[in-house]
Amino acid sequence: MTTYAVGDIQGCYSVLRRALDTVDFDESKDKLWVAGDMVNRGPENLATLRYLKSLGKQCIAVLGNHDLHLLAIAAGARTPKRSDTIQDVLDAPDRDELIHWVKHRPVVHYSEKKSCLMVHAGIPPIWSEKKALKRAAELEEAIRGSNSDEFFHHMYGNEPNIWSKGLEGTDRLRVIANYFTRMRFCNARAELELIQKGDLPPPGFAPWFLHDHKHSKKTTVIFGHWAALEGRVFEDGYEALDTGCVWGGSLTVMRIKDRVRFSVDADR
């Protein structure tokens, strides 16, 4: 059995299958970790979700910001934007089953055995693995619970931009969601800067993974979300897997045991 991790698929199903063929992925015994943003902006979102769902326990996918956006639209909390390409999922006869499956994906996946933590955007420097998993559990409960529609109605926004134990309600959940699914730059106190999307930090901020972190030095953090990095972080203990497939770049699959990467070019 071999475990592979893949970056942002974003509905690029055909490229995903080519990438998995490259590593001779065996659906009966190999495992696939997906670093969020399974859907949106790409052309084959329905096929992507159906395939990942069909893998059952062989697939561990964490939620990204585009996945949460799909759930918000499905809940009626948001209307699709012109750039969204998820109508095929919303119109599908198995829509309800797929939305239920997406809702029940974790926000953070941690494997103590593999010394790996996977999240879509990142882990704020002020949280250990234990704290990150605890905050992730809060968010997962809100996403899956009976009041999930209320959460999706209030999910969007950049404030509050820093964690505080005293935060409550939707403010608390929003900042947790922003850390895990939208973060690129922050300062050492975990204050977020959510406007800049390139690779150059605004004054006073740095890429989240360059700060001193509370999580164990033995833990490798696997993440996506940041195509501008082109998969390069130059920092031990971090693996960036978003190589911009949906933007014409490539889709990257990494073998967990030795961190060897395999990339296939996007469809033209």
User: pLDDT tens digit string along 79-129?
Assistant: 999 999 999 999 999 999 999 999 999 999 999 999 999 999 999 999 999
Could you give the C-alpha distances from 90 to 45, 133, 145, 154, 175, in angstroms and in order? 10, 30, 21, 21, 27
What integer pLDDT is reported at residue 154 of this predicted model? 97
Polymer length of the chain: 268
Q: Residue 268 pLDDT > 80, yes or no?
A: no
pLDDT tens digits, 42-77: 999 999 999 999 999 999 999 999 999 999 999 999
pTM of the entire predicted model: 0.97
Residue with tokens 């499956």: 101
What integer pLDDT is reported at residue 197 of this predicted model? 85
> Mean pLDDT throughout 190-212?
93
pLDDT band at 26 (very low <50, low <70, confident <90, very high): very high
> Mean pLDDT throughout 213-230?
96
Q: Residue 211 pLDDT > 80, yes or no?
A: yes
Token pair belonging to 101: 């499956």
Q: What is the spatial distance between Cα 239 and Cα 118, in angstroms, rounded to a whole number?
A: 9
Token pair belonging to 152: 């999706």
Q: Residue 259 pLDDT > 80, yes or no?
A: yes
Report the SS3 class of residue 81: coil
What integer pLDDT is reported at residue 220 of this predicted model? 98
Under 8 Å between Cβ of 61 and 36 = yes
Whole-number average pLDDT of the chain? 97
Token pair belonging to 184: 């690129």
Q: What is the spatial distance between Cα 33 and Cα 3, in angstroms, rounded to a whole number?
A: 7
Cα maximum dimension of the chain? 49
Could you give the C-alpha distances from 191 to 21, 184, 234, in angstroms and in order? 41, 11, 23
Residue with tokens 């950049």: 158
Report the SS3 class of residue 54: helix
User: 240: closest CA among 200, 208, 192?
Assistant: 208
Residue 190 DSSP label: -
Question: Domain limits of the chain?
Answer: 3-265
Residue with tokens 């001193």: 212
Fold of 3-265: Purple Acid Phosphatase; chain A, domain 2 (3.60.21)
What integer pLDDT is reported at residue 49 of this predicted model? 98
